[in-house]
Structure 1
Amino acid sequence: MSDSLTSRTLPSAVAGLVGTATVLALLYFGRDVLIPITLAFIFSFLIAPFVRALRHLGLGQTTSVCTGVLVVTVTLLAIGAVIIQQVGMMGASLPQYQDTIASKIETLDQLTRGTLGSLGGPAGQLIEHFTGDNADGPAPVLQNDGSVKTPVLVEIHEPALKPFQLLAKVASSVWPPLETAGIVFVVLIFVLLEHESLRDRFIRLAGGGDLRATTIAVNDAGERLSRFFISQFLVNLATGLAIWLGLSLMGLGQALLWGTMTAVLRFIPYVGVWMAAFCATVLAAAIDPGWTMALMTLGLFLAVEIIVAQTIEPKLYGHTTGLSPLSVVVSAIFWSWIWGPVGLVLSTPLTLCLVVAGRYIRALKVLEIMFGELPALTMPQNFYQRALSGDAHEIVTSAKRYMQHKSLAEYCDGVLLPALHLASFDFKDGSITPVEEEKVSGSIIAVIEALSGSVKWWKKRKRPSVLKRGGIGRELREQRISDSGEWQGSFDVPAGSVVLSMGLGSSYAELATEILVRILREQKIDARSMSLEDLDKETPPEASPELVSIVCLVSVDPLNDCALMAQTLERMRQELPNCKHFALLLPSPFENADLKTCVFPTADHVSRSYEDVLHSCQLAMKGSGTL
């Protein structure tokens, strides 16, 4: 059996490796062709809403596309012109700040005890240029005969270029970016002109069999990508404007350059804005003899980035990108390795496209799991996985974070109860080891106690092994009894103030009952529990039936407990006729049990969740005036 399995999996694994290597090779060696095409498609997502708006105004398809492309072209040329002009002005003004730069580098060298001066490479040469001896010529040399001779400097100059040679040199340096830009805009125009046709072809390729589902998926993916790119463009533009205005008010030269560089470099995730901040801070340190302007410049970048990253971005697209922070970093490293600086800028858009594709194309599902922001495990699965590891602390931390916006009852319905059903499957199948069972049981006890507030931080409870007792529910009940007394509280309470809960069928039902008791007690309701065996035991004389307001029977397997539930409801109706009788049905959410046959005419209310039964208990007790 294992040999046949290996014979099937090994060729598929080899084919996967070969396919991955082929894709990587195509991406690397075909980058000269793929980069312009990718840029064109990214720009198409950015321009498509603008083109659609122009078409709604009555312009034709061709006119709308040409107008949109023209706007992008003018914008990019304006940005390039601003950067070139500002860099030229900065280069012309740098000699004025040479003394200030030399003084500060010397100060930093002294503070670092000569570390800066020992740097090699371009950085060391630059520092030596500012701090070294600036004599006009070489030092005289003492000859053997005692005479002094000054070496003659020899400079090598290339012959002046002829006009055509100069023109060819300029053209050779300018032609590659112009060629790339030309390809980008040509492809962009045709992509926008054939937008509908390309969408239809992709729908046919992705899943023409289910036309409705595929159309919805493609439209959702296109809208999501367009919304993200437009939002990112607007946020980066606003950040650049804020930096420009702030630096202008501070009096820093070339403020427009740093604002423009901030808007452009911010497309590089995480590090782009700080590259602009570093350069602007260095210039501020060169201009100002002191350190005030440099610190103010750095503080401005820090304040603006915190406001934008923590306030504006989350509201606009913080939860719509679908990318986890780690995937953004990894994708930046990968795409910069494949495509260089252009890949670094395009890393987030490209990875986002792959994640969106993985959301709708089954073959690419692995990409959404690896790079998406959605957790790989659901919260119940995560609960059970942590419980198997015995990591109750992490479960409690996650639960408290969840309960910042939800109640304990909602957490038990949405996370704790499904996780307990997952554990029950392994318990029934016997696929869990005794050690794992001990870890799961101990974690569940610790989590329930922590969430219900029954154990304080200064009170450490020493628990015996739950495997040697009657189950988790009974263990929790006995621990609560040890705190509140044998009858779980005093009988000197107002009439109709007690809610009595009873589990049916199994120890798992006892645990569900104990959870209900703690949920009710958290809401200041005097909830107490008992088992079916306790019905035949003698109760103290002071335990008057008038004290009980509600009896709630709990079942975690309603289909098999249906007869027992009806029988117990009838019995409780006879023994406690003056109170209300509730039935709480908690079937497994993974089995889709049909509960239409579970009809209990003697029950005053049938609930399917902790939240519903809590709400019903509160209404009933408010109606009787006991809450």
Structure 2
Amino acid sequence: MANNTTTTESHWILPLASIVVVVAALHFAKALLIPLTLAALLSFLLSPVCDWLEQRRLARIPAVLGTALLGFVILGFGAWAATRQVSQLVPMIPEYSRNVEQRLGQLNVNVVSILQRLTRSGPEPDDDRTQPDRVVDGSEPEKQSDSVQVVSALAGSLESYSGMFGTLLEILGTIGIIIVLVIFFMARREDLRDRFIHLMGENNLTLTTRMLEDANTRVRRYISMLFLINATFGIGVGVGLFFIGVPSALLWGIVAATLRFVPYIGPWVAAALPIGLSFAITTGWTIPLLTIGLFVVLELLSNNVMEPLLYGRNTGVSAVAVLVAALFWMWLWGPIGLLLATPLTVCVLVVGKHIPRLSFFETLLGSDPVFEPKTRIYQRLLAGDQAEAEELVKGFLKRQPLLEVYDSVLLPAIVINEKHWQLEELFEDRYRCIMRCFREMIGDCGDRPRPPLANEDANVIAVATDAATGEAAESGVGNDNAPRAAEHVASPLDVVCLPAHTESDELTALMLVQVLTTPETSARSVSIESLAGDLAERIAAEKADVICVCATPPVSVMHARNLCKQIRDQLPHVKLIACLWDTSDALDATTERFGHDAVVVATMAEAQEQIRQLITAPSATTEQPAEIKRDRIARPPADALRDPLVSV
């Protein structure tokens, strides 16, 4: 026992220690890793252009140099234009400050006036409380002496210029390193890929290749589409602000395009800056309102038109994970980390998706549901949240028909609940509560309006009618008898659904009744209590064409076999269907062991298909009595009974 505990603790301690070491390395090596990461992302962005040039029979080195030159010229022009716009905006700041003070003063007067009207207790103009401090004893108020401090202008200037020069050299050096790395990454991208795969080991060749392809597809598509969307947004902002009359429109377009790389927070900051400036350049309301309207329209177009059209599908990272990742990378690498948060998080997600030991990253960061629908429903009921479980079922019913929802969601959830109850993992009160919730949800599904008759159901009736008419014609029966034969075949088929043993079996029988009830089929279910008495008499009293025995594993399967034996002894000619839910994996072996000339199905769709085959099965002759004809309809050929996939 102690060894198992030690193994479990080491299983978690090792990954946790590895994460701590990696985070520390990312923090202390950020001066090296930031240029490498920026170069890699720019290579992803520029690689499609380089590939396009190479497809035009341009050599690798000229294509790489041309692509790098084009990309960095565009970035350099944007930086130069932004710097020039800032230099033009700075001299206007004092005038804008006066406009802001005037607007705030006017707003203050309006607010005070409104408050005075609401309270009606404002001070009178001649009240002493509104006058400035008066001199009581006739003496002048004491004046505080101002202190003067002499600072060396030369020393301050040298220190300032030294700091600026050092920062400028650092920025230029980093840019130069990034340019060189981008060129070498694009020129040697195949060689770098092969070396990375070799480092991961030849035994992991398939895994590493699939991981690289996934990361390349996700990251390249995300960066390319994001750059295109942000560039379009920035152009729209710049052009719109220019016509509205906001100064430095080109600067705000560049800022808007850049800040939109920051997830969720960036667009708000990009809109706040020009909107604040629009309030400062004028005392009116026209320009601010037009500026706000411009950003609202552009955001709506970007979020609802461009992003769905260009992205196609998201990066696979959940919204919460993007926000947490943005905070993490900002704490780790500063403002640059905000710009790199989403691409880096996508890479971490891809690693967690393809490496089993790091699969927890996919669970923490991914946007795909971690539970299957059946598990989500059962977990909500297990937690006592019936309302959310019902909302989930309603959502599934909006996207899928009732049969698919039963087979893929509710029926497996009932099987899970029954297994946990048989394994004594549930208290009785919780089990009863869950069963009550299941019963209510099944009742709500049954109360929903049924969709119109499908084309295939209409074809079923037509085939049955044509078959009966053709048989009547071949047997020499007159035209007067043909409609009666068609009417007889198209009459509702009587189906009885019996629970094998437990309350779960009874719930599945109710579900099966809802699925099988159609204009050509009359289905009903029998409760557990009604089967508690003399079972032989109860079975003999059923005048049904088909009997479906519903069983939920694991316990009810044996009871279903015994019940089918008693039914076959009492009604040797009835059509018998054993519905052993959630046994698709071992259906063939179960069918061989079950016996009693019963068709074994594992889903409600298979049961529905068996009933459809009975409806379309032609009778042997129209001159036989109705009871014999009905028995013929209820028992199609043996090969069709044993193979649910055979179509008549």
Given the two structures, how large is their TM-score scaled by the length of structure 1? 0.76
State how far apart, in whole Å, the 1-side matches of 2:493 and 2:142 are.
116
Instruction: Report the secondary structure of 2:497's partner residue.
Output: strand
State how far apart, in whole Å, the 2-side matches of 1:209 and 1:415 are.
39
CA displacement 1:1-59 (0-9 Å, x = unmatched): 2x434444455555444433322222222111111111111222222222222222222
Q: Contact conserved, 1:50 with 1:68, CA < 8 A, in 2?
A: yes
CA displacement 1:472-522 (0-9 Å, x = unmatched): xxxxxxxxxxxxxxxxxxxxxx94264432344654333222111233459
State how far apart, in whole Å, the 2-side matches of 1:245 and 1:549 are.
76
Instruction: Report the secondary structure of 1:209's partner residue.
Output: helix
* Aligned counterpart in structure 2 of residue 232 of structure 1, from 212, 217, 226: 226
> Which residues in structure 2 correspond to 1:58-97 (within 5 Å)?
58-97=57-96
CA displacement 1:384-418 (0-9 Å, x = unmatched): 21121111111111121222211121111112222
Deviates more, 1:224-233 or 1:531-540: 531-540
2:300 counterpart residue number:
306
State how far apart, in whole Å, the 2-side matches of 1:427 and 1:606 are.
25
Aligned amino acid, residue 504 of structure 2: Y
Q: CA deviation at 1:608?
A: 4.3
CA displacement 1:218-243 (0-9 Å, x = unmatched): 21221121111111111112222222
CA displacement 1:234-286 (0-9 Å, x = unmatched): 11122222223333343333222222211110000111111111111111112
Is 1:45 the equivalent of 2:44?
A: yes
Q: Contact conserved, 1:247 with 1:255, CA < 8 A, in 2?
A: yes
Q: Contact conserved, 1:549 with 1:621, CA < 8 A, in 2?
A: no
Is 1:598 the equivalent of 2:591?
A: yes
2:242 counterpart residue number:
248
Aligned amino acid, residue 510 of structure 2: E
1:331 counterpart residue number:
325
* Aligned counterpart in structure 2 of residue 501 of structure 1, from 482, 497, 501: 497
Q: CA deviation at 1:312?
A: 3.0
CA displacement 1:153-194 (0-9 Å, x = unmatched): 9986724999x9998665323111111112222222222222
Instruction: Report the secondary structure of 1:403's partner residue.
Output: helix
1:320 counterpart residue number:
314
Is 1:427 the equivalent of 2:426?
A: no
State how far apart, in whole Å, the 1-side matches of 2:141 and 2:105 are.
37
Aligned amino acid, residue 530 of structure 1: V
Q: CA deviation at 1:324?
A: 0.8
State how far apart, in whole Å, the 1-side matches of 2:207 and 2:155 are.
68
> Which residues in structure 2 correspond to 1:294-443 (within 5 Å)?
294-317=288-311, 319-443=313-437
2:510 counterpart residue number:
514
Q: CA deviation at 1:317?
A: 3.0
State how far apart, in whole Å, the 2-side matches of 1:324 and 1:202 are.
28
CA 1:563/1:153 → structure 2, altered by over 3 Å: closer, same or farther?
closer
2:100 counterpart residue number:
101
Deviates more, 1:91-100 or 1:598-607: 598-607
Q: Contact conserved, 1:583 with 1:603, CA < 8 A, in 2?
A: no
State how far apart, in whole Å, the 1-side matches of 2:58 and 2:567 are.
73
CA 1:409/1:166 → structure 2, altered by over 3 Å: closer, same or farther?
closer
Aligned amino acid, residue 381 of structure 1: T
1:464 counterpart residue number:
none
State how far apart, in whole Å, the 2-side matches of 1:49 and 1:572 are.
75
1:183 counterpart residue number:
177
State how far apart, in whole Å, the 1-side matches of 2:199 and 2:380 are.
41
CA displacement 1:567-619 (0-9 Å, x = unmatched): 5785687455xxx7655453346xx3242562699989865432454466568
> Which residues in structure 2 correspond to 1:450-599 (within 5 Å)?
450-453=444-447, 495-496=491-492, 498-504=494-500, 506-521=502-517, 526-530=522-526, 533=531, 536-537=536-537, 545=543, 551-556=547-552, 567=565, 574=572, 576=574, 584-588=579-583, 592-595=585-588, 598=591
> Which residues in structure 2 correspond to 1:214-225 (within 5 Å)?
214-225=208-219
Deviates more, 1:189-198 or 1:567-576: 567-576
CA 1:267/1:594 → structure 2, altered by over 3 Å: closer, same or farther?
same
State how far apart, in whole Å, the 2-side matches of 1:378 and 1:276 are.
40
Q: CA deviation at 1:420?
A: 2.1
Q: Contact conserved, 2:330 with 2:337, CA < 8 A, in 1?
A: yes
Q: Contact conserved, 2:557 with 2:580, CA < 8 A, in 1?
A: no
For structure 2, list consecutive stretches of 5 or more residues without a partner in the other structure: 114-138, 450-489, 619-648
State how far apart, in whole Å, the 1-side matches of 2:616 and 2:285 are.
68
State how far apart, in whole Å, the 2-side matches of 1:613 and 1:148 are.
100
Instruction: Report the secondary structure of 1:269's partner residue.
Output: coil
CA 1:110/1:446 → structure 2, altered by over 3 Å: closer, same or farther?
farther
Given the two structures, how large is their TM-score scaled by the length of structure 2? 0.74
1:490 counterpart residue number:
none
State how far apart, in whole Å, the 1-side matches of 2:549 and 2:226 are.
54
Instruction: Report the secondary structure of 1:500's partner residue.
Output: strand
State how far apart, in whole Å, the 1-side matches of 2:160 and 2:501 are.
93
CA 1:112/1:374 → structure 2, altered by over 3 Å: closer, same or farther?
farther
State how far apart, in whole Å, the 1-side matches of 2:546 and 2:536 are.
19
Between the two proteins, the alignment pairs up a number of residues equal to: 546
2:35 counterpart residue number:
36
RMSD of the TM alignment (CA)?
4.0
CA displacement 1:542-566 (0-9 Å, x = unmatched): x9x5xx6655444445986896587
State how far apart, in whole Å, the 1-side matches of 2:206 and 2:17 are.
35
CA 1:595/1:572 → structure 2, altered by over 3 Å: closer, same or farther?
farther
> Which residues in structure 2 correspond to 1:20-31 (within 5 Å)?
20-31=19-30
CA displacement 1:113-137 (0-9 Å, x = unmatched): 69xxxxxxxxxxxxxxxxxxxxxxx
* Aligned counterpart in structure 1 of residue 153 of structure 2, from 139, 153, 158: 158
Instruction: Report the secondary structure of 1:376's partner residue.
Output: coil
State how far apart, in whole Å, the 2-side matches of 1:17 and 1:213 are.
24
Aligned amino acid, residue 513 of structure 1: A
Q: CA deviation at 1:146?
A: 12
For structure 1, list consecutive stretches of 5 or more residues without a partner in the other structure: 115-143, 456-493
CA 1:32/1:522 → structure 2, altered by over 3 Å: closer, same or farther?
farther
Q: Contact conserved, 1:336 with 1:344, CA < 8 A, in 2?
A: yes
Instruction: Report the secondary structure of 1:528's partner residue.
Output: strand
Q: Contact conserved, 1:396 with 1:450, CA < 8 A, in 2?
A: no
Deviates more, 1:395-404 or 1:332-341: 395-404
1:265 counterpart residue number:
259
Q: Contact conserved, 1:390 with 1:443, CA < 8 A, in 2?
A: no
State how far apart, in whole Å, the 2-side matches of 1:155 and 1:523 are.
101
Q: Contact conserved, 1:582 with 1:607, CA < 8 A, in 2?
A: yes
Aligned amino acid, residue 361 of structure 2: L
State how far apart, in whole Å, the 2-side matches of 1:496 and 1:224 are.
55
Aligned amino acid, residue 79 of structure 1: G
Q: CA deviation at 1:331?
A: 0.7
Aligned amino acid, residue 598 of structure 1: T
State how far apart, in whole Å, the 1-side matches of 2:337 and 2:296 are.
26
Q: CA deviation at 1:214?
A: 3.4
Q: CA deviation at 1:338?
A: 0.8
1:480 counterpart residue number:
none
**Larger CA Rg, structure 1 vs 2:** 2
Q: CA deviation at 1:381?
A: 1.7
Instruction: Report the secondary structure of 2:153's partner residue.
Output: coil
Q: Contact conserved, 2:26 with 2:332, CA < 8 A, in 1?
A: yes
State how far apart, in whole Å, the 1-side matches of 2:518 and 2:241 are.
55
